Amino acid sequence: MEPDCAHLFRMSLDEVKAKLLASYEADGGINHLDGTNLPSQESVSILARDLMHLFFPGYFSEIGTKRSDLPAWVGRMLKQVDSRLVAEIEKCLRFAKRPDPEKQASAAASTLLASLPELRRLIQTDVTAAYHGDPATLSVEEIILAYPCVLVIALQRAAHILYNEKIPLLPRMLTEYAHERTGTDIHPGAKIGPSFFIDHCTGVVIGETATIGAHVKLYQGVTLGAKSFEVDLQGHPVKSVKRHPDIEDHVTIYAHATILGGTTRIGTHSVIGGNVWLLNTVPANSIAYYKGENLLVRPRHKQESLIADGDWQI
C-alpha cells in the first residue's frame, strides 16, 4: 500500500521520528545496534579500491608512483588493507556467531593477502585476453584503465578466496561493489580459470556454482544461471547444491545467450551463438545457433566462429 504522502507532509519532524522508531521495531531492517555491527559498505568500498591499487600500482592514483618509492608504498598499503580486512571480516564472523572471531579474521585476512601475487598473475592473463580479444583497444593501459571487465573479474577473484574461507557477507559485498559499477554480476563462489574476458561487460550474470575454464570469452548479456533449485519440506531453497553450468576451455559465448542448469556443460572449443537458450550439454568442438526458430548444434569447423545469426567467419 502506498503511503498517504499528503498526510506525511503535514507531520512534524518529531512525529516522523516517532513513526520511524516504531517502524524499526515493527519492520526490522536495522543494523545490530546493541551488538556487533555489520560490515560497513563504505569500508568495503575502500577495501575494493585499495585492492585494485595493489593489483595495478600507479594506475589509479592522481599522483604518480616512482619505482624507488614502491617498496614503502606497498608496505603502507598492505598494512592498511590488512587492518581493514581483519576489522570487516571479524564483523562478518561475529554476525555468523563463529567461535574465536578475532583469530579467524586474522587468519582469513592473511590467506587473502598471501594470495595477492598469484591473483595478480591470474588478473594479468585476463588483461592480456582482453587485449588480444578486442581489436578496438590500442594498449594494455587502456584495458586496465577503461575496461570494466578488469574491475569485476579482479574483485571476484579476490572475493573467491574469502568465499573459500567460508567468510559470510564480505565476499558478496566485494563483488557487488563491482556489480554496481559495471552491471556485471559474478558470484564470489564461481570458479574461473585464467585468461577470462567479458567483452562490453554489462548485463552478464554468473551464478555461484558455475565453473569457467581457461581462455573463455563472453559477450554482453550472457547468463550462466540456474534452471531450477531444490526446496526442502518447508519450501525453502536448498543451499550448496550444484545449480549452474560448467564452461570448458576455449569457449566463446555471444551476446544474450542463456545457459542454465547444474548438469549443463559446454564442451571445449565450442561456440554459442547470440540469444541462444540452452538447457542441455553441448559437446566439444560444437557450434550452437538459431536458424529460424530452430536451435541447431553441429560440429564446429576449425577456426570458425559465429558473428551473428547466419553470418560466419572462417
Q: Which residue intervals of the chain bear CATH 2.160.10.10?
A: 203-308
Q: Are 289 and 257 in contact (CB under 8 A)?
A: no
% of the chain exceeding 70 in pLDDT: 91
Q: What is the pLDDT of residue 103?
A: 97
Tell me, what DSSP letter sits at residue 134? -
The model carries a pTM of 0.88
CATH topology of domain 20-183: serine acetyltransferase, domain 1 (1.10.3130)
Between 288 and 35, the more confident residue is 288
pLDDT per residue as tens digits for the range 141-163: 999 999 999 999 999 999 999 99
Residue whose C-alpha is closest to residue 271's, from 298, 253, 293, 297: 253
pLDDT at 300 > cutoff 80: yes
Cα 145 to Cα 59, 68, 304: the distances in Å are 7, 23, 31
The CATH homologous superfamily to which domain 203-308 belongs is: Hexapeptide repeat proteins (2.160.10.10)
pLDDT at 1 > cutoff 60: no
pLDDT at 308 > cutoff 50: no
Q: Which residue intervals of the chain bear CATH 1.10.3130.10?
A: 20-183
Q: Work out the mean pLDDT of the chain and round it to a whole number.
A: 91
Q: Are 125 and 195 in contact (CB under 8 A)?
A: yes
Q: What is the pLDDT of residue 145?
A: 96
Between 284 and 19, the more confident residue is 284
Phi, psi of 128 (to 5 degrees): -60, -40
pLDDT per residue as tens digits for the range 224-261: 999 877 777 777 777 779 999 999 999 999 999 999 99
Strand residues in 70-187 grouped as ranges (E): 185-186
